[in-house]
Structure 1
Amino acid sequence: MTFARPDHLFDDDTIPRLPTWVTSTRVEAVEDVAFLSGAALSHLHLVLGCRDVPHALVRDRLALRAAEACVAVSGRSERAGELRDAVHLLRPGDLPGPAGETYLTWRRAAERPVSVASLGRALAGVEPAQIAAWLDAGQGAPVARAAMVLEAVMRDAPRGDVCALILADAALAQAFGWDHLVPLLAAGVRRADLRAHGDDLRLACHRALISSVIEAVRLSADLTRRAAHLRAVAPKLRAKGAGDAVEMFLTRDAVAPTALPLSDRAARRLCDRLVDLGAVRELTGRDTFRLYGV
C-alpha cells in the first residue's frame, strides 16, 4: 500500500495508538457507533501510511483471523493452528479441505492489489462480471458502501458468506483508496449480522469495524516492532539465501522450513538461529512439522 506519510504522527520506534476514547467507549446510539467506527478507520488509514509497517505480513495475519472467523460461523471446529497446517503443510496434489480452502481464499484476496481481476482469481467459481456488479452495488460513505455490497452478495448468494465478506472488505478498501484489501469485517460480525438488512446491517458493520480495527492497529504495532528486529539481525545471518528467507518471513504469517530457498538442513538451522535471536517464533509447539513466523 502506498500513502502519504504524515511524519509528525510517527517516530522511528512506534506507530500511533488509537485514542482511549475509541478503545474504551461503549455506546449504543447509531450516531455514536458510526462516529467511533469512522474515527477508528481514519486512524487505521494513518497507520497503514507508515512505511515501516510490514503491510503484506499484517494482511496475511489478518487473513488468518478472518478465515478462522468464517470457519467458526460455518460450524466447523478448525482454529488458527489447524488452518496454518492445512495450508502451509500442503503437499503437491493434496487438497486443503473446506477450512483450508477458506483460508487460501482470504490469503489470495489480500495478497494482490484489489481489482475485479484479482478478486476473480481469489474467488474460484465467481465470474468477474458478477463481482463487478456486486461491487457496483456499494454507494456512499465507506462503511455504508461495504454494507451494501455485503447485503447484495448475501441476497444473491445466501450461502456465500466468505465471498460477501471479502467483497465488502474490497469495497471498503476502494472507498479509502487502499491498494490492497485489508481483512476486517469477518472477525467482527456475528452470524446473525450476515442476515441483517439496511440500517441494521450498517449498524452491525460499524460495530464490527470498531473491534476489528482496534485489533488491526494493535497487530500492526506489534508486527512493526518484530519486523524491525528481524531486519536488524538479518546481517548476522551467513547462510546463502538468508536474505530471501528473511523477506518471506516479512510477508507471510507462517513459513515452513521446506518452503525456504535453502537445503532442508540449512533451512532448519536458519530457523533455529532466528528463534535464538528472538527474530521469529516457532508457532506449533511441535518437534516435527514445525512452522515459524514473526
Structure 2
Amino acid sequence: MTFARPDHISDLDTLPRMPAWVTSVRVEPLEDVAFLSGAALAHLHLVLGRDCVPQTLLRDRLALRAAEACVAFSGRPERAGELRDSVHLLRPGDLPGPAGETCLAWRRATERPVTVKSLVRALPELQGDQIATSLDAGQGAPVTRAAMVLDAVLREAPRADVAGLILADATLAQALGWDRLVPLLAAGLKRADLRKRGDDLRLACHRALLSSVVVAVRQAADLARRAAHLKAVAPKLRAKGAGDAVEMFLTRDAIAPSALPLPDRAARRLCDRLVDLGALRELTGRDTFRLYGV
C-alpha cells in the first residue's frame, strides 16, 4: 500500500474558496435565494471533484450532522457524541435505539450509489415502489425537485422527516449528477420549516442549502488537510495492519480500536500513536470506550 508524499499534495492549496458574495448578503425573494443557493451548490460541485478531498469520510461526517438535526427535530436529546456511541459501540445483538437508527439510516444512505435498492437498505420501512414514486415526485431545477419530493413525503406522512429528507437529498444528488447522496438539507432546515409547503418550503430548502453548503465546503477543506497529514505520517507506522487501519480512518467519521484489523492492545497503541502525531483525534474525552477519528 502506498501513500502520497506531502510534496505531492499541492492540490490542497488550490481548493477553491467560496466567493464572499454568495454568503455576505442576506436576500429574501425566492429567485434571489435560489440564485445564491445554486451558486453555492456549483462551488461545492467543484470542491467534491478534487482528489484531495476524502469523499467517503466527508459524507459520513455530514451524515452524522444530518442525523443530529433529525434527532433534534423529533425532540430527543441525543447529540453527536451520543449518536457516535449508539452506532460504534454496539455489541452483537444490541439494538441502536431510535436515535441510533436515525444515524444508521443516514450512514447507509451515503455508503452506496443512489439507487432505489440502496435507499431501501437505508429506509427498510419503505418499499422499493414507494421510494421510486417519491423520487419521481419532483420536477424542474435540482432544488425545486428536492423540495417537491420532501413536500410529497411529508404531506403523506408528516412524521416521516428522516425518510423525506434522505429522499430529498437523494433527488438533489441525482439532479446534480452526483452518484452518492451528500447530506445537506437536514442540517440547514429548522423544525418549523418541515411544516411548510409549496413555495414556502422551497424557499426554506434554498436557504438551508446555502448555509449547509458553506459548512460542507469548510469541512471538506479541513478533512483534506487532516487526511493529507494522516497519509504523510503513515510510513512511520510499523504495526502490521497499520496501512489498512489508516484506510479505515480515511473513510469513517469515528472508529473504535476494536474495529481495527489489529489485536486489541496493538490497535489502542496505534490510535494513541496517531494522536501523538497529530493525525487523529480522540472524540469522546473518556478514558475507556474511546472513539477516534481524523
1:144 Cα shift? 0.2
1:275: which partner in 2?
A: 275
Residue 68 of structure 1, CA deviation: 0.3
Give unpaired runs (5+ residues) of structure 1: 1-9
Secondary structure in structure 2 of the residue aligned to 1:27: coil
Identity %: 80
Shift of 1:69: 0.3
Q: Residue in 1 aligned with 2:7?
A: none
- Matched with 1:33 is 33
Quote how far apart the aligned CAs of 1:13 are: 2.8
Other-structure match for 1:102: 102
Q: Quote the Cα distance in structure 1 between the aligned partners of 2:69 and 2:14.
A: 29
* 2:240 alignment partner AA: K
Measured after TM superposition, the shift of residue 14 of structure 1 is 4.1
2:12 and 2:224 in contact (8 A); partners too: no
- Residue aligning to 1:6: none
* 2:124 corresponding residue in structure 1: 124
Q: What's the counterpart of residue 54 of structure 1?
A: 54
The secondary structure found in structure 2 opposite 1:50 is coil
Question: Normalised by the size of structure 2, how large is the TM-score?
Answer: 0.95
Check conservation: 2:37, 2:209, Cα contact below 8 A. yes
C-alpha separation in 1, matches of 2:284 and 2:183: 23
- Correspondence for 1:149: 149
Structure 1 position 12, deviation (Å) = 4.3
Counterpart for residue 70 of structure 2: 70
**Counterparts of 1:140-219 in structure 2 under 5 Å?**
140-219=140-219
Q: Deviation digits for residues 266-285 of structure 1, max 9, x if unmatched?
A: 00000011001100000000
CA distance in 2 between counterparts of 1:12 and 1:201 reads 36
CA distance in 2, matches of 1:29, 1:196: 16
How far apart are the structure 2 equivalents of 1:151 and 1:12? 39
SS in 2 for 1:13: helix
Structure 1 position 242 matched with structure 2 position 242: yes
Task: State the 1:29 CA deviation.
Answer: 1.8
**Contact 1:13–1:225 at 8 Å: present in 2 too?**
no
Q: Match of 1:74, as an amino acid?
A: S
**Contact 2:284/2:291 (<8 A) preserved:** yes
Question: Secondary structure of the equivalent of 1:125?
Answer: coil
* Aligned-residue CA RMSD (Å): 0.9
Write the distance in 2 (CA, Å) between the matches of 1:27 and 1:189: 17
Gaps of 5+ in 2: 1-9
